[in-house]
Amino acid sequence: MSSHAPKQEPDAPSSVSVESLRERLLQTKSDLKVDKFFRALVRLKGSDLHMKVGNPPIVRVNGTLKPLDHPSIGAEEMIDLLLPMMNDRTRRIFEVDGGCDFAHVVDVDGESWRFRVNLLQQLGRPGLVARRVNNFIPNFEGLHLPPVIEGQCHHDQGMVLLAGVTGSGKSTTIASMLNYINRTYRKHILTLEDPIEFVFTEEKCLINQREVGHDVKDFGIAMKHAVREDPDIILVGEMRDEETFLTAIHAAETGHLVFGTIHASSAPSTIGRILDLFPEEMHGAIRSAIAMNMKCIIAQKLLPSIRPDVGRVPTCEVMTLNPTIRKLILEEQDAKLADAIRIGAEEGMQDFTMSLKSLIDQELIDRPTAFAVAPNKDALKMALKGINVSQPGIL
């Protein structure tokens, strides 16, 4: 990693040296005053750093917010801490939009750590929220994911979506899936990210990672280029608007395996979340595109573990698109999807109730934690008593 200060970045990518590209990718900066808080986060094994005027820095450790042993930060001090983190481009974005996202790299005890940073304004004052990105990409066993997720890495084409709120572990799960492909197949993986989080080490795959705003001007241009770059697998990041989903589903239709994330609370509700991106007159066509191209929707939530060697574990709802699921989506019977997931347990599908029971059985979480997040507490009670709540005759 270069120790030089970052170079001025142009509005759009241009011909640059390899070293400049490397600096741009890693967002390497000289040692900043704010970096001491990032180092504290790493040493405490925390996931997030919060900085707000009038408060001491706060870190999230195993899901709980804890203040650092530091005086409250004033407005002028906050500006002095945060302003040097931005380059010309991110400073312009911050001034226009009131916030900006970028990657930040800090050396901690001789090891480089990456962070996904969001600078924001609230009540006219600057603040920061940063997510620590693990230096290593854990495998499926390390993440305690259900075996069916590994099976989604073997598709030749189609779309796999990870659903959940911010901080639910979606990016880590996708990184683990892509790294599994990297270890297993000789394929070309192309990621389009804003910003780049996990930096992959090539094993069997050729991997190109493009950061929107740095390596390519915007997402639309990135996707236009993507189809000319011979990818087998494309990571498109978050499905946040109509354009993103249409370009991603088109890539799936044309023979690529596409991974993406979406903000939705469950696998069945993801269908409605996608439809909300489009006008009603397009819903029929979008349902058809989902039914024909979607391979799997995985919804996640992160829960604190009771095992001392495990911080947090994901509870996962998995909906693979078998003929029954496709039929329900095409016929607009989304209300029956949850029952279809339970009936599809023999195919590896599972709902949150089944997932929570499995985590309890593995002694990864306790019962109070499971019941606190269970969508259906009565169903979880019956499952823990060994009563199967599937109703095969309802579809």
- Which tens digit of pLDDT belongs to each residue from 108-149? 988 889 898 999 999 999 999 999 987 788 887 788 999 899
Q: What is the mean pLDDT of the chain?
A: 88
Residue 18 has pLDDT above 90, yes or no: no
pTM of the model: 0.78
Domain ranges of the chain: 18-133, 140-394
Cα dist. 288→73, 249, 332 in Å?
53, 11, 10
Q: Where are the alpha helices (DSSP H) in the chain?
A: 18-26, 35-43, 75-82, 88-97, 140-143, 147-151, 170-184, 219-226, 242-253, 267-275, 283-293, 323-330, 337-343, 352-361, 367-373, 377-384
Would the CATH topology of 18-133 be identical to that of 140-394? no
CATH level 2 (architecture), domain 140-394 = 3-Layer(aba) Sandwich (3.40)
CATH of 18-133, picked from 2.40.110.10, 3.40.50.300, 3.30.2000.10, 3.30.450.90, is: 3.30.450.90
Query: DSSP 3-state helix, strand, coil percentages of the chain (rounded to 5)?
Result: 40, 25, 35
Q: Estimate the crossing angle of helix 283-293 against helix 242-253, to 10 degrees.
A: 40
Quote the Cα angle for 181-185-189, to 5°. Answer: 60
**Which residues are bridge partners to 207 per DSSP?**
189
Res 141: pLDDT: 73
Q: Tell me the C-alpha to C-alpha distance, in Å, between residue 115 and each of 104, 349, 364.
A: 5, 33, 27
| Closest C-alpha among 242, 231, 321 to residue 277 | 242
Backbone angles phi, psi at 29, to 5 degrees: -135, 155
**Contact between 164 and 299 (Cβ < 8 Å):** yes
Convert the pLDDT of each residue in 182-203 to its tens digit: 999 999 999 998 878 888 999 9
Count of other CB atoms within 10 angstroms of residue 331: 11
